[in-house]
Structure 1
Amino acid sequence: MHPRVRYLSLAATTLLLAVTSPLIPLTSHLAALQVQAQTTQDRQAQSESLFQTGIEQFRKGQLRQALETYQRALAISQQAGNRTGVAEALHNIASVYESQGNYENALKFYEQALPIRREVKDKAGEAATLIGLGNTYLSYIEFKQHYRLIKKPEEVKPYQEVLKYYEQALVITREIGDSPNGDSYASRTGEAWSLNGIGRTYNTLNKKEDALKFREQALAIMREVGNRAGEATVLFHTGSAYWSERDPKRGYKPIALDFYEQALAIVREIGHRPLEAQILYMMGLSYSNNWHIEWNQKDEKGLETVLDFYKQALAIVRQVGHRPLEERVLDSIASTYNSLGYPQTAQEYQEQALAIRQEMGIHLDFPIFYIVKEAILVTYSTPKKRPTLITLLKGEAIIHYRNGEAHAHFGRYQAALESYQQALVISRQQGNRPWEWVILNQMGYVYQKIGQLQVALDTYKQSLAIRREVDKRAAREPIPHTIRVAYGTDVDVYRSEGIRLDEGITNNLIRVGEEEPITTPITTVEDANRIRERGRRRLQLVAGLSGWAGPVSQKYE
């Protein structure tokens, strides 16, 4: 076998997950050992075979099997007193743990490997382990932040210290390349991984231009040496750097998708299952983000595409055994089903995600995705004053209400009316007048959309009368009146979008059907006054950023 160090990697997004670290076969180093006895030769051959098997298992996504294989290689190397083999086994065990999202164990094994690398003067191995430490610390910080387990990155490791791991690795790999007997493939590949890690750190520090500069260098080297897995990883990370950007020349397609698509084609070609799972998940997120921005599409197929990516990712990630990623995929599937108007299916997936969080020992004071068990309606007399009314809608009623929103958004107006009617009946049985007002307002909007203008007018009037009854203080205010719906129990914690309506303006505009509909959403008092001055006398129900039908609306993620 050619005496070179070959690097494999499991990539991840800078927004969500980690780059796993280079896996280094034992072969090149063992070839340099002076075998003193046949038993040592046998152990060397066995270790070499195990390392090659582990690498193939890793590529195929068989991480549990790969872990067992490397543990066997570690035991054999320890029995033989082979310190180089011990270090490499520790390193590769750490890489598997990292790929499974078990960051604490990954750090433990990397930290055991590093001093042995230095002891045996294995420079290429030292660089690989430094990269592994950098990758894992970044991932661990992100993991802790995602679940709100830390407030600052410094509680795990300052980013500047993480950057030093990559910078040390970069110096070492370039020194190897400058050596007359240096392995050019090992040095160039190690250099590329170091540059990619530096780019990832800069991206985390919001230094996007610097991040892209380092990643461009890394990508060029990966292509130069023919490291396809590395090329896919860098493409993936580059896409993540463009996460929020869209191309106006191509229908505002997310730029990240171009990079993800290239990366996906490569990993499918080489058969790298762990990386494939993460690319598919991020493509699903990207399509979902794009769909939520383009609310006017009202296209169910867009969310069905999102679900397809998530479900492909879920199948692979369960094979791989990356529990944190599995939890996120399940959570995203739940959110998507909820947006499609299937809260019961969403509940099933969310319960699976919750079980994984409990397994990981994560007990949140908020859910990652907000399952429909209760909702809070909060009204304010002014945006900055204290609430004038807080009331809950619970149980079956809120499920029907959310179904109504989803049906209305997709133009399924008859189904929306049926769902709202069910929610209305329950609210009246409970004597929940504030929510009766909200539901009637939504129903008025649907009647307006289907052209039943007189019914819409009557429904709006019922809604307005109840609103005046239950929120008299706010009704006296001539300034914007804020409605906020938050799903959960803490208005300040749960995600929501506030909607402003002026009651005086509402009275002016409530004569439905007299003129052309207003197409511009009312978002400020100035907008409302401008419309009133133009003489428009039609009620415009204002939707929030999410674009869901009706004035009481919220963002679904």
Structure 2
Amino acid sequence: MHYHLKSLSLATLVLSLSLPVGVAESQTKGSVQTTLTAQVQMMIKQSERLFEGLQLYELGKAQFSKGQEQEALETFQKALVIFREVDDKKFQGLTLYKMGQVYENLSQYDMALKSYKQALPLVKELEGVVLGTMATVYADQGDYPKALNLYQQALAIAQRLNDKVGEMKRLYNLGTVYSELGNYSKSMELFQQALKITRKLDDRAGEANTLNSIASVYINIGDYAKALDLAQQALAIQAKIDNKAALPPIFSNFGDIYLQLADYATALEKYNQALGIIETIGNSAFKANILQKIAGVYIRLGQYEKALDLNVQALTIYSKIDSKSGMVTIFNNIGRVYEQIGKYSEALKLYQKALNILNVTGGNTAKARTFNNIGSAYWNLRQYDKALIYYQQALVIRKKSGIKEGQAKTLNNIALVYYNQGKYTQALNYYQQGLVIARELKDKDTEAISLTNIGVTYNALGNYSDAETNLFIAIEA
């Protein structure tokens, strides 16, 4: 009743402002009264419908926050119908934006992007936020050129509005994308810019998150001492502000560092510290992520049964929360374990499961990895022509996405196939392409492997002088 009275007073106010002060004598009192009554009733009905839509919108948000994605989606769709009926552009846009978030959580990326694009012209005041969210969807799918373009647009909007929080977020997002692309110097530059802003804003949590991300870059370039120092700084800040929820990613970085240093006992200790915190605060997706990292340690230790068990645990979690991208990762991980123990046909079945999901959801990075793994399985089965087909498909995606590190690995895989087929000239061409990228990335290990392979290939071609030169350079690299 309260809302009906409120609506009535609003309708009366609008009508009193819109009707002329005097009424022509030719109009009868009855006709004016009829017109007024009809208009009031129409406005009351519209107000009631708007209120109904707002209630549905709030219910959808509550359902989404509880992880009830399907229910939230149905509720938002009902709200959208009402907002379109009453022609409320703002809430049409907000509802479409929330629907996009739900679709994104369900790994329905095409539907998410469709919703965000529809929301964009309806909520101009949130243009930077929507563009940034769309960019994240493209980044999650491995479409880094589109992600970069949209993040840069969002950054320009934040800078124009002097929105320092928004500027910091977009610099951080851009740093993350460049890190994925293997452009670590650019990534570092952007993270450092974001870090300066977090310090100016006295955003201690943001400062710690950024320090931890910079630590990840140092892990990627092999500077583990620097990575360890930065992760420790991040840990000290998060502990001081009692931000327990932010500790697992830091312990995960510690685990990654010790894994690379082949200190497997300490790596396991750090991953398990992350896992212990997750058990108390919740976060199913990150728990699954840590479980697969622990599995990776056991693979290094040759304990494949433990690795399989942990990956299955992670798969169970991803299936329960319907994380398609997580399931794809685990199918690939288990497939790699099967390859390690010589079960190549079983590995292929799992890679195909991953590919089936990706053919529905999209995801360039994951698809390239899956193609590469299928190629590896066929390589191990000595089916070189099939291996070559899948390696080439992986290379096309990685070139399109600009993922340099992935390109170098796939180029070397293709070269290896040609070498084993006795096609040494083709092999040499691909090894040399891989070498160029390894040097661009300052990846000394891959550079040394490429030089060794080039030397071996020259030797097979009977070019002993160039073979000797490359092998000596490889030793020095």
Please give the alpha-carbon distance, in whole angstroms, between the structure 2 residues aligned to 1:359 and 1:163.
25
Match of 2:365 among 260, 264, 274: 274
Asked if the contact 1:370/1:487 (under 8 Å) is kept, the reply is yes
Asked if the contact 1:307/1:333 (under 8 Å) is kept, the reply is yes
Which structure is higher in strand share?
1
Change (3 A) 1:140 1:114: same
Please give the alpha-carbon distance, in whole angstroms, between the structure 2 residues aligned to 1:304 and 1:92.
40
Structure 1 residue 140: Cα displacement = 1.9
Asked if the contact 2:298/2:304 (under 8 Å) is kept, the reply is no
1:300 is the counterpart of 2:382: yes
Deviations 1:108-135 (A, max 9, x none): 1101111211222334422321121011
Change (3 A) 1:59 1:488: same
Match of 2:265 among 205, 209, 214: 209
Matches within 5 A, 1:81-480: 81-141=162-222, 157=223, 159-173=224-238, 178=242, 188=245, 190-218=246-274, 221=278, 224-227=282-285, 231-232=288-289, 235=292, 238-239=295-296, 242-243=299-300, 245=302, 247=304, 254=340, 265=354, 268=358, 272-275=363-366, 277-278=368-369, 281=372, 291=380, 300-301=382-383, 307=388, 310-354=391-435, 356=437, 367=451, 369-370=453-454, 374-375=458-459, 394=462
Change (3 A) 1:234 1:194: farther
Structure 1 residue 226: Cα displacement = 3.0
Deviations 1:319-377 (A, max 9, x none): 3211232122102220232123332442443354356467779997972532666429x
5+ residue gaps, structure 1: 5-26, 28-40, 142-156, 180-186, 292-298, 377-392, 399-484, 496-557
Name the amino acid aligned to 1:93: L
Name the amino acid aligned to 1:167: Q
Asked if the contact 1:300/1:340 (under 8 Å) is kept, the reply is no
Structure 1 residue 488: Cα displacement = 4.1
1:489 is the counterpart of 2:469: yes
Where does residue 80 of structure 1 map in the other structure? 161
Which secondary structure state, in structure 2, belongs to the residue aligned with residue 67 of structure 1?
A: helix
Change (3 A) 1:209 1:281: farther
Asked if the contact 2:451/2:473 (under 8 Å) is kept, the reply is no
Please give the alpha-carbon distance, in whole angstroms, between the structure 2 residues aligned to 1:256 and 1:75.
52
| Number of residues of Structure 1 aligned to a counterpart in Structure 2 | 320
Deviations 1:292-320 (A, max 9, x none): xxxxxxx523x567556644532432232
Structure 1 residue 81: Cα displacement = 1.1
Asked if the contact 2:451/2:470 (under 8 Å) is kept, the reply is no
Where does residue 58 of structure 1 map in the other structure? 139
Please give the alpha-carbon distance, in whole angstroms, between the structure 2 residues aligned to 1:199 and 1:287.
32
Q: Which moved more, 1:78-87 or 1:242-251?
A: 242-251
Please give the alpha-carbon distance, in whole angstroms, between the structure 1 residues aligned to 2:347 and 2:215.
23
Change (3 A) 1:55 1:490: closer
Please give the alpha-carbon distance, in whole angstroms, between the structure 2 residues aligned to 1:274 and 1:113.
26
- Normalised by the length of structure 2, the TM-score is 0.54
5+ residue gaps, structure 2: 1-60, 66-100, 102-121, 309-336
Matches within 5 A, 1:10-25: none
Please give the alpha-carbon distance, in whole angstroms, between the structure 2 residues aligned to 1:367 and 1:329.
16
Please give the alpha-carbon distance, in whole angstroms, between the structure 2 residues aligned to 1:194 and 1:171.
10
Asked if the contact 1:203/1:211 (under 8 Å) is kept, the reply is yes
Structure 1 residue 212: Cα displacement = 2.0
Asked if the contact 1:246/1:255 (under 8 Å) is kept, the reply is no
Name the amino acid aligned to 2:258: Y
Where does residue 522 of structure 1 map in the other structure? none
Q: % of aligned pairs identical?
A: 25
